């Protein structure tokens, strides 16, 4: 999952990062600051290549050197988020759905997520793990919605950002590990390899255009190439949110000796891991239309267990798709 915090980078620096992405057919969500050097025409042009643009909320004190804030900054978080989102919508005619703040100010355990959900934000990427420490928030490694202390589920996913260049290799920042590029590439590359081949989890990273163009491209390009070599795709945070929401809405239920699958939105490709029995019947061996739903089956070992991996292609919205089981086998109803 590729993200890039604007941080007042120059257009030339944006171009350098975009060229690297284009070489790998990779897509990115750019988090755009107030007083950015970007404009709507550039965003439209780059969006045609698959990139998306959301907001990188900041206070005036973040943009003007020497400007101080007298009152507790926690009081400013909600109006800051509201003002930045409204400005982004008005200036660029784009509605933010994912976010990362320029400076993360503590408002409360889930208070900022509640504000974000109210403002239409459905995925927060503010948590930066500074890997290899505390990289995932749950066993699956997937984003989860924030949950308040009383059990209330908030309609905003938390997706960890596993690293950003200035935390690993910047030579001066106090919070930087100050690793060599070689060590950073090795450490992060190992995490990507395990995510792709052992845990099947997403990895999210961040690179500022100004940083990529001046010192971090060997690390970030190394990350991209490791991911591609491992069979991963590189997609934007907004696309990841869209997929996360679509995946969550898929319903699978027992249907006789097989399964019934339905989704409220179109899904190009979706893989289920099912028990090895009952065996799912192959798709009919006949010519099909290019957009007609079909499926393929492979036998796979995952985490020491055998599964049928059933991949459905071209799942149409609200059109049930049936995976047939053996006709002569009668199964007990699931608990």
Rounded to an integer, what distance in angstroms lies between the CA atom of residue 227 and that of residue 162? Answer: 14
The 10s digit of each residue's pLDDT in 45-84 is 999 999 999 999 998 877 766 556 666 677 889 999 999 9
Q: Are residues 234 and 266 in the same domain?
A: no
User: Strand 258-262's sheet: what is its strand order?
Assistant: 251-255, 258-262, 321-323
| 191-236 pLDDT tens trace | 999 999 988 899 999 999 999 999 999 999 999 999 999 999 999 9
Q: Are residues 295 and 167 in the same domain?
A: no
The candidate with the shortest Cα–Cα distance to 295, out of 265, 146, 274, 136, is: 274
SS3 of residue 4 by DSSP: strand
How big is the chain by its Cα radius of gyration, in Å? 22
**Residue 133, pLDDT score:** 67
- Asked, for residue 334, whether it belongs to a domain, the answer is no
Percent of the chain, pLDDT > 70? 93
* Distances in whole angstroms, Cα of residue 319 to Cα of each of 242, 246, 260, 262, 322: 19, 14, 10, 6, 10
Domain end call among 192, 209, 243: 243
Residues 40 and 92: beta-carbon distance below 8 Å = yes
Q: Does residue 328 form part of some domain?
A: no
Q: Are residues 61 and 142 in the same domain?
A: yes
CATH of residue 222's domain is 3.20.20.370
**How far is the CA of 17 from the CAs of 28, 214, 278, in angstroms?**
10, 11, 49
Closest to 248 in 3D by CA, of 161, 144, 318: 144
Residue 32 and residue 96 in contact, taking contact as beta carbons nearer than 8 Å: no
Kindly tell me the burial class for residue 67, based on how many C-beta atoms sit within 10 Å of its own C-beta (0-12, 13-18, 19 or more). Answer: exposed
Question: What is the pLDDT at residue 331?
Answer: 43
The reported pLDDT for the residue numbered 69 is: 62
Whether residues 172 and 296 share a domain: the answer is no
Asked if 149 and 266 sit in the same domain, the reply is no
End residue of a domain, out of 193, 211, 243: 243
Last residue of a domain, one of 210, 243, 276: 243
Q: Are residues 152 and 256 in the same domain?
A: no
Taken in order 182, 185, 187, 190, the sign of the CA dihedral is negative
- Residue 116 burial (CB count, 10 A): 27
Give pLDDT tens digits for 126-158: 998 765 566 677 778 899 999 999 999 999 999
Q: Are residues 265 and 194 in the same domain?
A: no
Query: Are 55 and 138 in a shared domain?
Result: yes
Q: Where are the beta strands (DSSP E) in the chain?
A: 2-5, 29-32, 52-55, 98-99, 123-124, 144-147, 153-158, 163-164, 205-206, 251-255, 258-262, 267-274, 294-302, 305-315, 321-323
Q: Give tens-digit pLDDT for 159-183.
A: 999 999 999 999 999 889 999 999 9
Say yes or no: 107 and 20 in one domain: yes
For range 310-318, the mean pLDDT? 94
Most confident of 3-7, 268-272, 289-293: 3-7
Record the tokens describing residue 95, joined without a space: 């509605």
The answer to whether residue 260 sits within a structural domain is yes
pLDDT of residue 332: 44
Residues 208 and 285 in one domain: no
Q: Could you list the residue range(s) of the whole structural domain that residue 269 is in?
A: 251-323
Burial of 200 from C-beta contacts in 10 A (0-12 / 13-18 / 19+):
middle
The reply to whether 202 falls in a domain is: yes
Whether residue 262 lies inside any domain: the answer is yes
- When divided into structural domains, the chain yields a total of 2
Q: How far apart are CA 277 and CA 256, in angstroms?
A: 14
Task: Say how many residues make up the chain.
Answer: 335
Rounded mean pLDDT of the chain?
91
List the end-to-end C-alpha distance of the chain, in Å, as a whole number. 37
Do residues 258 and 224 both lie within one domain? no
Same domain, 153 and 225: yes
Encode 203-229: b = buried (16+ Cβ within 10 Å), e = exposed: bbbbbbbbbbbeebbebbbbbbebbbe
Strand partners, 302: 305
| Residue 62 covered by a domain | yes
Distances (CA, A) of 255 to 5, 171, 322, 329, 333: 47, 59, 8, 13, 10
Section 99-113 average pLDDT: 91
Q: What is the DSSP letter of 110?
A: S
Say which range, 37-51, 125-139, 185-199, 266-280, has the weakest mean pLDDT.
125-139
Tokens of 77: 């978080």
pLDDT at 72: 67
309 and 297 Cβ atoms separated by less than 8 Å: yes
Is 335 a member of any domain? no
Is 330 inside any structural domain?
Answer: no
């Amino acid at each position: 999952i590729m993200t890039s915090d604007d941080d007042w980078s120059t257009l030339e620096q944006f171009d350098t990062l975009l060229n690297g992405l284009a070489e790998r057919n990779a897509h990115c969500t750019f988090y755009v600051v107030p007083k950015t050097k970007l404009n709507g025409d550039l965003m439209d042009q780059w969006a045609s290549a698959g990139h998306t643009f959301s907001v990188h909320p900041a206070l005036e004190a973040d943009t003007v050197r020497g400007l101080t804030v007298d009152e507790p900054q926690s009081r400013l978080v909600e109006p800051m988020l509201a003002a930045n989102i409204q400005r982004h919508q008005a200036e660029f005619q784009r509605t933010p759905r994912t976010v990362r703040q320029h400076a993360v100010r503590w408002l409360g355990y889930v208070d900022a997520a509640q504000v974000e959900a109210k403002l239409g934000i459905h995925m927060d990427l503010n948590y930066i793990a500074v890997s290899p420490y505390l990289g995932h928030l749950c066993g699956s490694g997937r984003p989860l919605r924030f949950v308040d202390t009383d059990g209330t589920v908030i309609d905003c996913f938390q997706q960890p950002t596993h690293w950003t260049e200035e935390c690993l290799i910047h030579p001066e920042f106090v919070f930087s590990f100050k690793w060599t590029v070689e060590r950073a590439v090795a450490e992060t590359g190992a995490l990507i390899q395990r995510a792709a081949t052992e845990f099947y989890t997403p990895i999210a990273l961040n690179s500022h255009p100004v940083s990529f163009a001046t010192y971090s491209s060997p690390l970030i390009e190394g990350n991209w190439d490791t991911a591609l070599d491992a069979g991963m795709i590189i997609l934007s945070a907004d696309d990841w949110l869209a997929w996360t929401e679509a995946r969550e809405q898929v319903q699978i239920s027992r249907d006789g000796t097989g399964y019934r699958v339905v989704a409220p939105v179109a899904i190009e490709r979706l893989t289920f891991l099912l028990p090895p029995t009952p065996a799912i019947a192959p798709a009919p061996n006949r010519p099909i239309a290019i957009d007609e739903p079909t499926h393929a089956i492979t036998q796979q070992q995952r985490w020491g267990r055998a599964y049928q991996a059933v991949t459905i292609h071209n799942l149409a919205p609200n059109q049930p798709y049936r995976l047939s089981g053996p006709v002569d086998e009668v199964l007990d109803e699931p608990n």
